[in-house]
Chain A
Amino acid sequence: MSGVSIEVIAQIDALQADYVHALDHRDFQGWVDTFDTAPDTAYFCISAENADSNLPIALMYDDTRERIEDRVTFIEKIWSGTYQDYRTRHFIQRTRCKKIADNTYAVESNFSIIYTPESGRSDVQVAGVYQDEVVINGSGARFKSKKAVYDTTVLPRYIVYPF
């Protein structure tokens, strides 16, 4: 974390907290709001197996802001009423933070998600690492790109919500 001020770290941690809070409260507009508004803002969710072998297929491939917004439509409109719902709890641990350009930081964090289906027990859904690019401007920190690389070679069930 050398060379990154405590104020910057505080803003990045606040962003991570907003991200977790939004997802775990199923506030998907709040989730979208953690991303930068530029059209090329990106969110990816890809298996480590694919990523390590340079295989581009992802579980979620939202390489534009429009596709990030479309994901909310999938969840709230298109899939509504078809899936067995589940609660999520994200646990995040920041492990790296480096300045890569003016007001731009590369942040790496371990994550795990505990999920609890309706009438079910709690289990680990997935574990992995977030590889994020965070921009900080007057209105605070936002994800310019966020890549959730998940270790879980075989997912334990179908996936509704972003990692």
Chain B
Amino acid sequence: MAELSNFGIVWPKNINEVPKEVFVRKDLFEVEQERIFRGPEWHPVAHVGELPNPGDFKTFPLGTVPLLITHGQDGAYRVFYNACSHRSNQLETATFGNKTEFECPYHRWLFNPEGELIGCPNSKEFSPGFKREDYPLAQPRMEMFCGLIFVTMRAETPPLDEWLGEVKSTFRQAMGGDGRLKLLGYQKVSYKTNWKGYNDNDGYHAPLLHTAFTLLNWQGGQGRQYSDLVRGHLGFEADLSPVPKSDMIKDHSLVEYKGDPANMGSRLIQLFPTMVITRHLNIFNIRFAIARGAEDTEVHYAYFCHEDDDEEMIKHRVRQASNLLGPCGMISMEDASIFHRIHIGSGTPGNAIFQKGVKSFDTLPDDIKQNDETGNLARWEYYRKVMGFERAQS
């Protein structure tokens, strides 16, 4: 008789099985927000390439917590809670822009991009000893890697470098080697799926799904997939053979790689809980995902060029990125449809069962082949532990 654990969920004994109800149970969402999104994890919220000039800002939520990310007049990047330090009215409503000051319309408190309170009318009538310098905008912890800004709400989260673990080298390559990226624009979409369903299927790349690869006679080259065994961060590195010209599509530049052949391979990393970053052909793509609700996952596909690109390369990147990836991309529209269908299918009883590459039912795999499904298992094991679900004994 299996032991009942948290939420009455019995986690299967075999390491390659996940109970489908974790994709659809609405009561898990708040606990996940507390233990994961507000928990001891780092969450990417912006890349500095989105905020190139002093005064540039972006708003983005960490789960249900609104944030304001700024590029200060002093050149520094900062992350604040997007709420006035007085009564917590949402400070900024725009998704991004440029401002020299942020004014809360409620009582006209005024902040600079460095987060200092620089004005508050009628402060003589405020509480005894009120001082403006005691009321800056509050901040979560923040660290950067290759220009990508991460935040955490917990003091005990390990330093970012340690938290990233093994995937740093692939990460760096996915960000052009040095992270000197410049924003080209966004594609934003809401998927009717649980954030774990999105995460389970966006990084993992089932070649059988992609008709485009077959139709274009596009063979992937040699590659490797590896997983950090603590949190299940995942890295993919694959050589890419040039796509043969075919009659299937008329504009071959859509799948053509231009530039240094040494950087031709594709790189992808997936970070717990929801981040996917990829360099594919000439595309730099960071996918900022927001768990809005148990069946609502919003993804902001941000595309970049490198700061050293010439006009011709930028144009090529724009033409390739716009039509190849994202919610209407030639390759990835199909991924998007799977997110929805996985969610609907997970309303059925039983377990989702991983197969390809599984060699043991009780040990996490340390040798993962390029197209194996086993790369997801370490992440599921970490999730299970964080949520306190116990494995069935038999």
**A residues at B contact (CB < 8 Å):** 45, 47, 49-50, 53, 55-64, 66-67, 69-70, 73-74, 77-84, 153-160
Q: Given that A57-B318, A84-B340 are known contacts, is A158 also in contact with B187, CB under 8 Å in the complex?
A: no
Q: Which of B191-246 contact A (CB under 8 A)?
A: 191-192, 209, 211-212, 215
User: Which chain A residue lies CB-closest to B344?
Assistant: A84
Q: Select B334's contact among A53, A60, A83, A153, beta carbons within 8 Å.
A: A83
B residues near A45, Cβ cutoff 8 Å: 328
Pair A57/B191 contact, Cβ less than 8 Å: no
Chain B min CB distance to A105 (Å) = 27
Across chains A and B, the number of contacting residue pairs, with CB separation under 8 Å, is: 120
User: Which chain B residue lies CB-closest to A65?
Assistant: B250
- Closest 4 CB pairs between A and B? A57-B185, A55-B185, A158-B336, A61-B322
B residues near A156, Cβ cutoff 8 Å: 189-190
Q: Given that A70-B249, A153-B95 are known contacts, is A60 also in contact with B328, CB under 8 Å in the complex?
A: yes
Interface membership of B89, Cβ < 8 A: no
Interface membership of B326, Cβ < 8 A: yes
- The docked-state distance in angstroms from the alpha carbon of A84 to that of B334 is 10
- The docked-state distance in angstroms from the alpha carbon of A78 to that of B330 is 8
Q: Select A47's contact among B187, B215, B319, B337, beta carbons within 8 Å.
A: B187
A residues near B336, Cβ cutoff 8 Å: 157-158
Interface membership of B327, Cβ < 8 A: yes
Q: Select A70's contact among B95, B185, B251, B327, beta carbons within 8 Å.
A: B251
Interface membership of B382, Cβ < 8 A: no
B residues near A61, Cβ cutoff 8 Å: 318-319, 322-323
- The docked-state distance in angstroms from the alpha carbon of A79 to that of B249 is 13
Pair B187/A79 contact, Cβ less than 8 Å: no
Pair A57/B187 contact, Cβ less than 8 Å: yes
Chain B min CB distance to A68 (Å) = 10
Chain B min CB distance to A48 (Å) = 11
Q: Select B191's contact among A53, A83, A157, A160, beta carbons within 8 Å.
A: A157
- The docked-state distance in angstroms from the alpha carbon of A78 to that of B213 is 9
- The docked-state distance in angstroms from the alpha carbon of A88 to that of B191 is 19
- The docked-state distance in angstroms from the alpha carbon of A63 to that of B315 is 11
Q: Which of B312-369 contact A (CB under 8 A)?
A: 314, 318-319, 321-323, 326-328, 330, 333-334, 336-338, 340-341
Pair A155/B190 contact, Cβ less than 8 Å: yes
Chain A min CB distance to B324 (Å) = 10
A residues near B330, Cβ cutoff 8 Å: 74, 78
Chain A min CB distance to B360 (Å) = 33
Q: List 10 A-B contacts (CB under 8 A).
A: A57-B186, A59-B322, A59-B328, A67-B323, A82-B333, A82-B334, A83-B337, A154-B190, A155-B190, A158-B336
A residues near B303, Cβ cutoff 8 Å: 57
- The docked-state distance in angstroms from the alpha carbon of A43 to that of B261 is 32
Chain A min CB distance to B218 (Å) = 12
Known: A56-B184, A67-B251, A78-B215. 17 other contacts (CB 8 A): A47-B186, A47-B187, A59-B322, A59-B328, A61-B318, A63-B319, A64-B251, A69-B250, A70-B249, A78-B211, A82-B334, A83-B333, A153-B188, A158-B340, A159-B328, A159-B333, A160-B328
Interface membership of B295, Cβ < 8 A: no
Against A, the Cβ 8 Å flags (1 = close, 0 = not) of B69-104 are: 000000000000000000000000001100000000
- The docked-state distance in angstroms from the alpha carbon of A84 to that of B186 is 24
Pair B337/A159 contact, Cβ less than 8 Å: no
A residues near B254, Cβ cutoff 8 Å: 67, 70
User: Which chain A residue lies CB-closest to B209?
Assistant: A82
- The docked-state distance in angstroms from the alpha carbon of A74 to that of B250 is 11
Interface centre among B185, B250, B314 (most CB of A within 10 A): B185
Pair A50/B333 contact, Cβ less than 8 Å: no
- The docked-state distance in angstroms from the alpha carbon of A122 to that of B19 is 32
User: Which chain A residue lies CB-closest to B318?
Assistant: A56
Q: Select B185's contact among A56, A60, A67, A78, beta carbons within 8 Å.
A: A56
Interface membership of B183, Cβ < 8 A: yes
User: Which chain A residue lies CB-closest to B323?
Assistant: A61
A residues near B321, Cβ cutoff 8 Å: 57
- The docked-state distance in angstroms from the alpha carbon of A50 to that of B188 is 11
